[in-house]
Amino acid sequence: MSRMNVEFTPATDAALERLAETLGTSKAGILRFGIALMQIAVREQASGNSIGVVNGQQVVREVVGVWSIPAGQKERA
* Ramachandran area for residue 52 (φ above 0: left; ψ -120 to 50: alpha; else beta): beta
Q: Supply the DSSP symbol for 25.
A: S
Residue type, 36: A
- List b or e across 8-33, with b for residues whose CB sees 16 or more CB atoms inside 10 angstroms: eeeeeeeebeebbeeeeeebeebbee
pTM confidence score: 0.75
Residue-level pLDDT, tens digit, the chain, 77 residues: 899 999 999 999 999 999 999 999 999 999 999 999 988 888 888 888 888 899 999 999 988 766 666 666 665 65
Q: Which amino acid is at 35?
A: I
